[in-house]
Amino acid sequence: MTRSTRKIGPFDVSAISFGCMNVSHAYGAPPSPEAAGRLLNEALDLGYTMLDTAALYGFGSNESLIGEYLGHRRNEYILASKCALHGDNGKRVLTNDPATLRQSCEDSLKRLNTDVIDLFYLHRYDKVTPLEDSIGVLSDLVKEGKVREIGLSEVSADTLRKAHAIHPVAALQTEYSLWTREPEIAVLEACRELGVAFVAFSPLARGFLSGGLTDVSTLAEKDLRRNMPRFFPENFAQNVRLLDEFADLSNRAGCTMGQLALAWLLHTDDNVIPIPGTTNPAHARENFESATVSLNNDTMKAAGDIINQHTVIGGRYVESTQAEIDTEQFQ
- What is each CA distance from 211 to 112, 259, 312, in whole angstroms? 33, 11, 15
pLDDT over 60 at 12, yes or no? yes
- Look at residue 1 in the predicted model and tell me its pLDDT: 44
pLDDT band, residue 28 (cuts 50/70/90): confident
Better-scored residue on pLDDT, 312 or 29: 312
**Does the residue 314 lie in any domain?**
no
Residue 300 lies in a domain: no
Q: How many domains does the chain have?
A: 1
Residue 3 has pLDDT above 80, yes or no: no
In which element (H, E) is residue 159 found?
helix 157-166
Catalytic residue among 27, 48, 57, 176: 57
CATH code where residue 180 lies: 3.20.20.100
Q: How far is CA 39 from CA 34, 201, 229, in A?
A: 9, 19, 31
Q: How far apart are the two ends of the chain, measured CA to CA in Å?
A: 31
57 in catalytic set: yes
* Tens digits of residue pLDDT in 180-214: 999 999 999 999 999 999 999 999 999 999 999 99
**Chain CA centroid to CA 267, Å:** 17
Which tens digits make up the pLDDT trace of 171-189? 999 999 999 999 999 999 9
* 304 domain residue, yes or no: no
DSSP secondary structure of 109-123: HHHHT-S-EEEEEE-
In a domain, 320, yes or no: no
> Is 0.85 surpassed by the pTM of this model?
yes
Q: 103 lies in a domain?
A: yes
Residue 327 counted as domain residue: no
Mean pLDDT throughout 98-117?
98
- Domain enclosing residue 19, as ranges: 5-205+262-293
